[in-house]
A and B are shown apart, each in its own frame.
Chain A
Amino acid sequence: MALKLYSNSLKPYEGGLSKYVHASLLVIGRLLGKRKLKVYEWDENHIAIPVTINVELPPRGNYSGIDIKKKEPILIVFDINCYPRKAPKAFSDRLDFPKDALSHLYVAKDDRPAPLCLIRGSIDEWFAEKEIGDYVLQIQSWFSDAASGALVEDGNQFDPIRLEGYRGTSIYKYKEIADVVNSNQSIMEGQNFALALFLETEKETDNSFPSFKMMKVIPNADEFKKAVELLKQVSDSKNGLVDKNLQFGLIVWNKELKPTSDYFVNLPRNFNELIEFGKKTNIDFLSGLFFYFSPHSLKLIDNIPVLAGIKRSKKIIGYNSDIEFVNFYITVKDADLKDGTIVNNVPVSFQMHNEPLSVEKAKEISNYDNQLGNVLIFGAGALGSKVIMNFARGGHTDITIVDGDKLSPHNLVRHALLSGQIGKSKSVAVKAAISELYRHDTLPNLVSRNIDGEEMFIGENRKSIAQFNWLFDFTASKRLQNFLARETISEPINICKGSLMNEGKLGVLLVEGKNRNPRVDDLQILLYDLYKREKFVSEYLQTEFEKSKDEKSLVSVGVGCNSETTILADEIVSLHAAAFCNVIKKEAHRSTFSDNGFIYLTSITTEHGFKVESHSFQVSSLIVMKCGDWEIRFKSNIPEILKSEMGKALPHETGGVFIGIINKKTKCIYVTDVLLAPLDSEANEVCFFRGVEGLPEEIDKIKKMSGQTFGYIGEWHSHPFGPMGLSNVDMRTVKKFLNEFRQLQNPIPVFITIVTPYGLHPFVIE
């Protein structure tokens, strides 16, 4: 018997065809062995081409006996104006096509056949890289898959109804609503409906369709009483809730939760059809709606969300329960109501569902596996806020945000937050933003502290440090850096500092070594020490020195972004923040540098076009010695050089000078280099007369190349046969030096180290 075809109702198309459509029709004809194809009018912008395709049927018989034939008549519908930018649509031409049994059909529009859902995602995007022949192959595969039960992505799960032509979005946590349905938590005993409070989010936009974000489920009578109380409080004009665009909605489900596997590709478009749909699905819409309108009249705005839960035989793909929700909204004006009943055939629309963002989802879609543990972040300014939000958007929310500052208007130029937060504490505002991202999740380890970083080490706060795996300092505060340098932190916490230098051209991330050696302050010094091998470091230090002359200030070692005078574009901060975040995540277990310290740099140059480069360096632990209040921090290779020189000069003494930096505030001397005995030096077994030949020139060169950062800081000489202390001769020199050094514009202490076979013996005399 001949099949009844939808195309029999279509009129032949008599208009013109674009060359693209024409060429594609030739290909289809050639592929399917038809010399001439019929062309029908689908609507004013579309033509329909009826063709018959061969289907490879499965050898074990069709899945569930579904009626798919070896030859299937189909319609390929082209948009005559937008093809090939818009992909064609494919429909079964059979009026008796078993559409209720198939998942991969879109909901039908305007009494037409249901379109085939050929691929996951956007068909137009897919078609942008394919040709019409591929499209026909895809249709053949679709039928073949439909016949063999392979359309379903996972046979153990239920493939939900494909929605097309939806109007707006319903946003709710599926599990929350499914729990209500599965436990049959009806507002009224013996019934199958519950209430929920929604926020209409499109009211103030140009969008003509509403979207509903679920705020709260009202699953039982107690909660309902509270809701009605709330309603009464604003009942005079209902303005309170209307102004906020709030609306009560209904959740209804099928009686006795009997599973059905039918697909409903003809979803209701009006109230009468909705009631019919209820009969098919065993869902009692009327009781729920009667309760809704009478006696309480819960309607606040005209569009009423109604979520209909259909019990399926298997868990729904992508969800954790077997309830599939079809999300309707009914548009009911006051004139459509009489005695608590809808009296007119009002419009019904359906919506797509979006799950509110959860931490788990964020982790999944950003492919982030939290390895960092609980983190403590100092500074929620431009850089800190961006790194924090990068973490948070990736689903890492075990963050304690510490910042004592408030958000000022000028901060908005470079901050992750927006104007609604002005005047608020930065830490509190950033925490609130993250909480809002995941408003349905509990985030027990997301904490804000409206204090400065140092205060975390005082009193009760101090005890909490042990709970953190990482401490990040994004403050660019030298005060905090000095504090951290001197503070004894014995907890096994990874300490890391991120800052921007050179007007944002350089991003610097410093990670301390094991047992805080090297420390952040060491790493900062050793970063500058790279001037010898990295031109950009030398150039940076020299530029900073030149600038410092103008500004009458010392070399700046970090740009604070909080200053109104800091010239720095938002995208530069974002670029560095993104790089830092990625490095931090990758190095959660210190895989690259293990117990060593680590310096990561991102350098941006714009002179010859925009260019970004990154560099990283491992730093071994320093040799640290104490002398009174002073701490001497030798770069790791220096003690070996000194011992070696002593050995070479034996039996005579030898010596030279130290290059480095002295921080009088933290009482740290950083020794980064050694200069050996100048050529005119003289020595015997008990004396060493350090010469000068070439020495001033050498030191000046270092000063110049390092932008005056590194220079002379002290002296060393060997006592190959002892003593381990300063000799009388040594003391005379110390006194001489002291007299000179105290007169300097920027005085320094006298620092002398004796090298003996037993080790180094540093002395600092002020």
Chain B
Amino acid sequence: MANHYIKFYPVENGDTTLITLSDQTTILIDCKLRASAEDEKDKEKYDVKRDLLESIKKRDNNPFIDVFILTHPDQDHCLGFSKNFYCGDPSKYKKENRDNEEIIVDELWATSILFDVVTNDDAKALKKEAERRRKLWDQDSSEKDKPGNRICMIGYNGDEKFENVEAYVPGNTIIEINNKVQTNFEFFVHSPFKKTLITATSEKDKNYSSIVLQARFKINANDDDFATFFLFGGDADHYSWKEVLDKSKAHNNEDKLKWDIFLSPHHCSWTYFNDVPYDEKEENKTPKKSSLDILDYKVGKGKIVASSKVISKHDKNPPHWEAKQQYLKKLDSSDNFIELAKCPSEDEPKPVIFKITPQGPVKDDSKKQGSSVASAGGSLGAVKSKGEYGSETV
């Protein structure tokens, strides 16, 4: 029997998280695909695209993911989308798209803010693609149900424009992933709330209206209990999280706050704990109770993942040194605070993979096994750097 896996890619300040379910369904949460490492000196840039292509499936020889979730349209959550993901009618996917290894997104999940506030090129490409898919719903075209055309709104701002499109709102549980009902996996939708989507009109509001989800994994369909909870919310700030906490309490949904893995919001930013700049006001330095309370919904030992640059005392937020200290206080051991930029080493970070076991998520090293038969690719440092040879005796 296959396991579920969660893979966190090291992308410095940004998010790229791949969930692979036991039936091989793939869900990518945000992306930050930079150009791959250019030379030996730049090897801390992990080749995320190559790894992603090796981790996902192909259909008719074309790479695809089942779902892409854009938590919010910031550049560090969608960088490289236009270059690496296929945009347009999937039936027109051609050889040149295949040669460019463009990944088809079967089903796109986004919030309505994508249609309002976008500034960077990748977000614009995503907006255009989402618009293309949305129009299929307006036309009630049968094409809208085909892989590569599906779209699903997370949160609803009341705009008529999205009236026809399938949507999930806070309080919903999603069990249908890319037209397939999952029996051992589900998402619980915490955010964005309608009112924040309506009022979010400026660039800075994007974080406030970020998608917040709890992914819930079971080993077997008929297990009573979930084996792992993964709570994540893009760049959602402490205001959003407070609302998540309050609403969950009010609606008897506190179990939806549980986490075995918590992805520290906004790349281990202080915004999760209080307002920034940290030093601007003394009161900013005290973490909000609601943010600390959420961390108490930890199950077992818990793991907190920082998808950021190496966290330094002297760097500007994010990531934030004090935020890390707050997280550490909630963990039994610093081993459970995982800085992706340092795994396994600062020099050459690699993805961190968790296998979902009956006893929670366990870091999985077996996927790092090699083979006795090998050859290197063009991305090898030795290939990209000049080699010097000579017969002169020094």
Contact = CB atoms under 8 A, between A and B. Distances in A.
A471 to B, nearest CB: 36
B258 to A, nearest CB: 11
B363 A155 contact: no
B371 A129 contact: yes
A137 B367 CA distance: 9
B359 A62 contact: yes
B361 A59 contact: yes
A150 B373 CA distance: 29
Interface in B217-244: 219-220, 222-223
Contacts of A155: 1, 219-220, 223, 358
B355 A150 contact: yes
B359 A63 contact: yes
Contacts of B260: 59-60
Contacts of B319: none
Contacts of A697: none
B298 to A, nearest CB: 9
A130 B372 CA distance: 5
B225 to A, nearest CB: 10
Chief secondary structure at chain A's binding surface: loop
Interface string B345-370: 00000000001011111111110111
B302 interface: yes
A148 B357 contact: yes
Nearest to B332: A59
B229 to A, nearest CB: 11
Contact of B362 (A56, A128, A130, A133): A56
Contacts of B299: 59-60
A149 interface: yes
Interface in A128-142: 128-131, 133-134, 137-138, 140-141
A137 B359 contact: no
A382 B37 CA distance: 62
A154 B1 contact: yes
A147 interface: yes
Contact of B300 (A61, A130, A149): A61
B379 interface: no
Contacts of B357: 58, 63, 145, 148-150
Given A59-B359, A149-B358, A140 B220 contact: no
Contacts of B358: 63, 148-150, 155
A154 B184 CA distance: 13
A153 interface: yes
Interface string A35-70: 000000000000000000000111111110000000
A131 B220 contact: no
Contacts of A141: 364-366
Interface in B38-54: none
A134 B219 contact: no
Nearest to A141: B366
A130 B370 CA distance: 7
Interface string A103-121: 0000000000000000000
29 contacts: A56-B363, A57-B362, A58-B359, A58-B360, A59-B299, A59-B359, A59-B362, A60-B260, A60-B299, A60-B300, A61-B359, A63-B358, A129-B371, A129-B373, A130-B369, A130-B370, A131-B370, A131-B372, A133-B370, A134-B369, A137-B369, A138-B366, A144-B364, A147-B359, A147-B362, A149-B359, A150-B357, A155-B1, A155-B223
5 nearest interchain CB pairs?
Answer: A58-B359, A60-B300, A148-B357, A149-B358, A59-B301
Given A63-B358, A134-B369, A150-B359, 11 more contacts: A58-B300, A58-B362, A59-B302, A62-B359, A63-B359, A128-B372, A141-B365, A144-B362, A149-B357, A149-B358, A150-B355
